[in-house]
Amino acid sequence: MKPPSSPLLDEADLAPDTSGQPASARYGDVYASRAGALGQARAVYLQGCGLLDAPARWAGRDRFTVLETGFGLGVNFLATWAAWRADPSRCARLDYVSLELHPVRAADLLRHAPPELQPLAAELAAHWPPPVRGLHRIELGDARVHLLLAFGDATDLAPRLKLAADALYLDGFAPARNPALWTPELFRALARLTRPGARAASYTVAHAVQKGLSQAGFELALQPGWGGKQQRLQATFNPVWKRTRHTLPEPWPAALPRHAVVIGAGLAGAACAHALARSGWTVDVLEAGSHPARGGSAMPAGLAHLQPSADDNLLSRLTRAGMAALRRALPPDAADLAQFVPATLTPADAAEARRMQDWRRTVQLPPEMAQWTADGWQVDSAILANQAVCAAWLASPRISLRCGVQIARLQHDGASWNVLDAAGNSLARAPQIVLATALQTPHLLAASGLIPGPEWLPLHALRGQAQALPARFWPALRNLRQPWMGSGYVLRLPEAAVRQLQGADHADVETDWLLIGATFETGDQPLTPEQAWQHNRAGLSALTTSPPRPDHAGALRHFAGVRAASTDRLPYCGPLADLAPLRAEPQRAAGKQLHELPRLPGLAVCAGLGSRGLTLAPLLAETLVAGFEGHPLPLETDLADALDPARVALRRLRHGAAS
């Protein structure tokens, strides 16, 4: 057994029962009716939730969301996906969210999938995530079927999901053997995620289940059972109380076009534009520089990586989700702009050395995510060619890019936002704006009168410098096989970054480059390029004490950029609080929770990515788009809250009220 906080979960302990049915030794129960898993899936769950009716409950709709307790061998999911595929009047998008504490292995999914569902099972198995606590998003069926696997204890996770379910499959093991999945507390948490009128279904009609569901607002209608059972449970969510604290995510209003203006074409803006375009939006990207990736993103390359910690803290969870989102966001043929190769993580100082030693005891992750080796910690990482990655994300017929335009202010005029330059000329308008303007974000908001001053979304500048050097000039690093991080870092540039260094005429014959970084400069006195190089070289002293060739200086290329960092070092990602009504009643406002704050319609920020833009940009972009669309949130709400830009406003309002 793992400790309760371990991100690595105990996997399912599948064993056939006496009749050869897949069963769990831990729970002493079979995964599905002995009369057949597929038959049960159809008769109990699909039928119970009205998905085999003509027309099915998803017919003609934009989207339909199923929420399940107990993913198990995925037969309910595969049967639902198959029924959806076979229905010409199916909804455009199917979301399926399933809670699972003991994931099975991919091979088990395949072994136990009913023969007619094998092709779907194979597609699922190819994307199957490791048994790690948290949310895992999988896009299937040409990205029209979205599976969100919530790995962990349902009681702990359900209150941290955000979604609006149209159907609820209750499929734990028998209540007597698996009581945790049938508690009134869990039913209440599920009810908070369920749309009024949604149907729920289960194979069990145990008295406690009926009672718990009725108390949570479900009207029961027991039906004749299946596979030897007298009855099955069917219910409709019809709460008599009004929803107060927990609002369901709303779909993008049908009256408004899916059109956004993204301001800023760095990693954050490019990732947001890409995620929006993938979701069917038309996107105008406006950028002050002459090209994308000119601001803080102007390094030739950088490293995205997972950050382990002893207690699996917020950053560890975010970087894990970030690496998964990065893989999803990159085009399939991305080898020249992204190389996924584990990075060696070594301590920057004595305190970190002690922490990393501790991790040997505390960090429990699959080896492909983090493992201790003779060379130190090896963590999941990717070297990315910044400009090529931004270009790939912006290369969509739905995205139009305008460079060389400086936005001065935003103005809301009823249904849409007007984007203005300093002379007051309108540069674009759209019902949705994403500000991905790094350090400029608070100033733009303040100039638009949307926050009283930049301190309501504080960002500070962390200047950084890095150098590229042809590998042959540093013989000791010439055979560097994987990125190395300590108090500095060194990595080998991917092909696309080398092409960019070579320039248009490819006059430079160097093909093998190292990138060595990076400084963190806070004061007014930036380091000179020479000082920065000395600093970055010194950062590699734990890797090699052997110097570069004496004639290396002429071959060095220097790069400088500015990172935008928030005070708590976490990005700002989400809609902004509408401060006018809050500041009018500060005492009331101070008593509110984040999710209760009113928001400015159609205005979101994605900024303050600090030194983790490559690791986090695609995750932030996915989270923003899920919020706009009202799709199931791909992050637990505690993580989303930690990124919410309104956290600063709330802190200030509370502080103001207290003083």
Ligand X SMILES: C[S@@+](CC[C@H](N)C(=O)[O-])C[C@H]1O[C@@H](n2cnc3c(N)ncnc32)[C@H](O)[C@@H]1O
Binding residues for ligand X (CB under 6 A): 12, 31-32, 70-76, 99-102, 153-154, 171-173, 178, 180-181
What does the alpha-carbon distance between residue 556 and residue 528 come to, in Å, rounded to a whole number? 14
Residue 566 sits in the site that holds ligand FAD (CB under 6 A): no
Residue 444 sits in the site that holds ligand FAD (CB under 6 A): yes
The residues in 67-126 that bind ligand FAD, with binding defined as CB under 6 A, are: none
Question: For the CA atoms of the chain, what is the radius of gyration?
Answer: 26
- Across the beta sheet with 370-373, the strand order is 370-373, 376-379, 343-345, 484-485, 489-492, 513-517, 460-470, 557-565
* Contacted entry of ligand FAD, ligand X, none for residue 171, CB cut-off 5 to 8 Å set by kind: ligand X
Residue 607 sits in the site that holds ligand FAD (CB under 6 A): yes
Residue 269 sits in the site that holds ligand FAD (CB under 6 A): yes
CB closer to ligand FAD, 121 vs 270:
270
CB closer to ligand FAD, 315 vs 436:
436
Q: Looking at 470, 561, 632, 645, which residue binds ligand FAD (CB under 6 A)?
A: 561
* Contacted entry of ligand X, ligand FAD, none for residue 266, CB cut-off 5 to 8 Å set by kind: ligand FAD
Exposed/middle/buried for residue 362 (C-beta within 10 Å: 0-12, 13-18, 19+): middle
Give the x-and-dash track for 275-294 against ligand FAD (CB under 6 A): -----------xxxx----x
Q: Looking at 437, 448, 566, 623, which residue binds ligand FAD (CB under 6 A)?
A: 437
CB closer to ligand X, 159 vs 172:
172
Q: Is-contact 462 521, C-beta < 8 A?
A: yes
Phi/psi for 454 (5° steps) reads -60, -20
What does the alpha-carbon distance between residue 147 and residue 98 come to, in Å, rounded to a whole number? 8
Q: Which DSSP state fits 414? A: S
What does the alpha-carbon distance between residue 553 and residue 469 come to, in Å, rounded to a whole number? 9
Contacts of 495 by beta carbon, 8 Å cutoff, 6+ apart = 335, 336, 337, 385
**Helices 613-629 and 314-329, packing angle to 10 deg:** 80
CB closer to ligand FAD, 98 vs 319:
319
Query: How far apart are CB 21 and ligand X at their closest, in Å?
Result: 11
Query: How far apart are CB 360 and ligand FAD at their closest, in Å?
Result: 25
CB closer to ligand X, 10 vs 375:
10
What does the alpha-carbon distance between residue 570 and residue 561 come to, in Å, rounded to a whole number? 19
- 3-state SS class at 449: coil
Residue 438 sits in the site that holds ligand FAD (CB under 6 A): yes
Residue 304 sits in the site that holds ligand FAD (CB under 6 A): yes
Token pair 């038959």 in the structure block, residue? 39
CA neighbor of 498 nearest in space, from 521, 471, 478? 471
Q: Looking at 74, 130, 308, 464, which residue binds ligand FAD (CB under 6 A)?
A: 464
* Contacted entry of ligand X, ligand FAD, none for residue 517, CB cut-off 5 to 8 Å set by kind: ligand FAD
* Contacted entry of ligand FAD, ligand X, none for residue 286, CB cut-off 5 to 8 Å set by kind: ligand FAD
Phi/psi for 50 (5° steps) reads 75, 25
CB closer to ligand X, 113 vs 648:
113
CA neighbor of 187 nearest in space, from 233, 137, 136, 145? 233
CB closer to ligand X, 133 vs 535:
133
Number of H helices, E strands in the chain: 20, 32
* Contacted entry of ligand X, ligand FAD, none for residue 164, CB cut-off 5 to 8 Å set by kind: none
Contacts of 18 by beta carbon, 8 Å cutoff, 6+ apart = none
Q: Looking at 146, 612, 631, 647, which residue binds ligand FAD (CB under 6 A)?
A: 612
Q: Which two tokens stand for residue 533?
A: 């190089």
Q: Looking at 265, 570, 573, 604, which residue binds ligand FAD (CB under 6 A)?
A: 265
Q: Looking at 51, 275, 466, 570, which residue binds ligand FAD (CB under 6 A)?
A: 466
Question: How many chain residues touch ligand FAD (CB under 6 A)?
Answer: 41
Region of 86-94, 110-118, 266-274, 506-514 interacting with ligand FAD (CB under 6 A): 266-274
Region of 193-201, 262-270, 354-362, 535-543 interacting with ligand FAD (CB under 6 A): 262-270
Q: Looking at 212, 308, 548, 613, which residue binds ligand FAD (CB under 6 A)?
A: 613
Region of 52-60, 207-215, 360-368, 437-445 interacting with ligand FAD (CB under 6 A): 437-445
Contacts of 161 by beta carbon, 8 Å cutoff, 6+ apart = 97, 150, 193, 632, 633, 636, 637
Query: How far apart are CB 76 and ligand X at their closest, in Å?
Result: 4
Q: Is-contact 464 517, C-beta < 8 A?
A: yes
Query: How far apart are CB 52 and ligand X at their closest, in Å?
Result: 16
Residue 536 sits in the site that holds ligand FAD (CB under 6 A): no
Q: What end-to-end distance do the CA atoms of the chain give, in Å?
A: 48
- Across the beta sheet with 29-30, the strand order is 14-16, 22-24, 29-30
Region of 223-231, 247-255, 263-271, 341-349 interacting with ligand FAD (CB under 6 A): 263-271
Q: Which two tokens stand for residue 98?
A: 């399933």
Beta-bridge mates of residue 343 = 379
Give the x-and-dash track for 354-393 against ligand FAD (CB under 6 A): ----------------------------------------
- The alpha-helical segments, DSSP class H, found in 147-233 are 154-157, 184-191, 207-215
* Contacted entry of ligand FAD, ligand X, none for residue 611, CB cut-off 5 to 8 Å set by kind: ligand FAD
Query: How far apart are CB 428 and ligand FAD at their closest, in Å?
Result: 11
* Contacted entry of ligand X, ligand FAD, none for residue 264, CB cut-off 5 to 8 Å set by kind: ligand FAD
CA neighbor of 301 nearest in space, from 403, 382, 380? 382
* Contacted entry of ligand X, ligand FAD, none for residue 72, CB cut-off 5 to 8 Å set by kind: ligand X
Q: Looking at 215, 238, 406, 528, which residue binds ligand FAD (CB under 6 A)?
A: 406
What does the alpha-carbon distance between residue 609 and residue 606 come to, in Å, rounded to a whole number? 8
* Contacted entry of ligand FAD, ligand X, none for residue 73, CB cut-off 5 to 8 Å set by kind: ligand X
CB closer to ligand FAD, 606 vs 646:
606
CB closer to ligand FAD, 65 vs 297:
297
What does the alpha-carbon distance between residue 514 and residue 473 come to, in Å, rounded to a whole number? 10
Q: Is-contact 471 455, C-beta < 8 A?
A: no
Residue 411 sits in the site that holds ligand FAD (CB under 6 A): no
CA angle 232/113/222 to nearest 5° reads 5
What does the alpha-carbon distance between residue 422 and residue 445 come to, in Å, rounded to a whole number? 14
Residue 531 sits in the site that holds ligand FAD (CB under 6 A): no
Residue 303 sits in the site that holds ligand FAD (CB under 6 A): yes
Which residues contact ligand FAD (rule: CB under 6 A)? Answer: 263-269, 286-289, 294-297, 299, 302-304, 406-407, 436-438, 440, 444, 464-466, 517-518, 561, 563, 607, 609-615
